[in-house]
Amino acid sequence: MRLFTFIFLGGLSVMVSGADVSGQLSPAEKRVILEKATEPPFSGRYDSFFQPGIYLCRQCGAPLYRSDDKFNAGCGWPAFDDAFDGAVKQTPDEDGMRIEISCAKCGGHLGHVFTGEALTPRNSRHCVNSLSMSFVRASDPEFGRTILGGGCFWGVEYYLKQVEGVLYTTVGYSGGKTSYPDYKQVCGEKTGHAEVVEVVFDPKKTSCEKILRVFLEIHDPTQRNRQGPDVGAQYRSVIFYYNDEQRRTAEGLLQRLREKGFSPVTELLPAARFWPAEEYHRDYYGKKGTKPYCHRHVERF
């Protein structure tokens, strides 16, 4: 199985850089992942590694971290200040001194999380053993990550979470110039960011084209810089792509809409950095138990 990640604007057993991460663990990996050992500082392959892509659990292949959220903490181990929603479990150590982090899917040991260090605006450091992870490059044509925007990210996430084969969704911001933007800044329309939803899905159960079709049917791609009652450039319709295959797929769907008499204003641009939104925005309608007021599914294809 291969990993495909999509980010929609309003983050398994997979092949990683040519290697199947579902295979046997090495003795060193077993010590860290199964026995909760710690690799020596500054020894891991991902300590000073900053290529764009996604980090996966070495044992089961589940997506864990984005390269966007990795930073140089100078501690000797890979450091991240955020993870995919629901991907990492936090458990107090038996001595009560530290918080262990493990893969939420298989329970494999990753490392520990620390807060209060003020190393980034998120004030969190996931200190992870390189041996606990594998990596998928964003340049890999089968990596499949994209960013799309279609109005308020609450509603976009609500519908995309329901697509069969979707594993993870995360709301956030992308397309602008401000680092670590917050909701208030984005709503002020001075950051250049649009509201986004990141989607990670299983390609054996769904496809890029299916997710893009759903995206173009749950918002009105003919509305410029607004969606229903929500008005502003942060609500623009836009698709960010990571490779030519994604671009061609999006172009084909937009052309089909034109042939059907629609006039989509959806922008199509190279991928930009994704910034996860504040915790209270994540799975907003799922937590409330209600349905979106500004999005609905309208068949267009």
Active site positions, annotated: 127, 152
The whole-angstrom separation of Cα 197 and Cα 214 is 13
Residue with tokens 């995360």: 170
Residues in a beta bridge with 274: 174
Nearest to 215 by CA among 156, 255, 275: 156
Cβ 263 vs Cβ 222: under 8 Å: yes
Are the beta carbons of 264 and 237 closer than 8 angstroms? yes
Give the distance from CA 283 to its chain's centroid.
Answer: 13
Give the Cα separation of 274 and 69 in Å (integer).
9
Tokens of 122: 């998120």
> What does the alpha-carbon distance between residue 138 and residue 53 come to, in Å, rounded to a whole number?
4
Distance in angstroms (rounded) separating the CA atoms of residues 136 and 128: 17
On whether the CB atoms of residues 40 and 113 are closer than 8 A, the answer is: no
